[in-house]
Amino acid sequence: MTYCGVHDTICQSDWLPSNRLPGEKAGKPAFSLRTDLTIAAISGSILTMKELYDIYAGIKCLGDIRICEDGIEPNVRRLVMICQSHIDTPDVFGIYLLHPYVEFATSTDYKFTPAETGLLYDILVQTDLIGTVYRRQLGKRLGGISTSLFNTLPWNDLRVEDGELVIDGQGNAVVDHRAATRAPAGIPCRDSRDGRWQFKQEELDDLNQLVAPFWRDFQW
């Protein structure tokens, strides 16, 4: 069982961790060529000092899209979106898990286009798969969505203005409860008879491994 952070939810998983990138698991379609090339460029790149600064300093913007790694063998590397940060915990971030497989979309997934994110392909934000990770697990910014687009997502209970959390006089994040103003990318996935069920299980498996370094420090 893994505690998954932002919305005080408990995620349960009995599935073994994987060292594969999304698209390399049995039952999942392969990445498109342009996605493969993007991942290859990320993993094989030599970072400049400016890019290193971007990784290790000042990750502030909610809606940023970055690579996240668990740093544990076998390693999991996934695209994530920053969905929570706090001035009192500058080394910890909440994330949504992302994937590009539109045909696997459910009612909790929301599609963003290249024009909206700056990526080369459509991406799905899985608002039911939320976790907490350390800054050191995050790579450089690859794209992102604007504050106005970020605020179209459902269950985003932290008020955001100009890409920053709104903090009240007591230092707490201001909470808003609102429904999505963006149509979901798919219909509900109700049980294991749905072909998307196994896909979601594998996605939860990856999320649990990504959040493991953080929650291992808070076991009790």
How much is the pLDDT for 125?
A: 98
pLDDT digit string, tens, across residues 108-135: 999 999 999 999 999 999 999 999 999 9
Q: Where are the domains of the chain?
A: 2-216
Q: Which residues of 56-89 are buried (b: 16+ CB within 10 A; e: fewer)?
A: eeebebbbbbbbbbbeeeeebbbbbbbbbbeeee
CATH topology (fold) of 2-216: SH3 type barrels. (2.30.30)
Range from 105-109, 126-130, 159-163, 203-207 carrying the lowest mean pLDDT? 159-163
- pTM for the model stands at 0.66
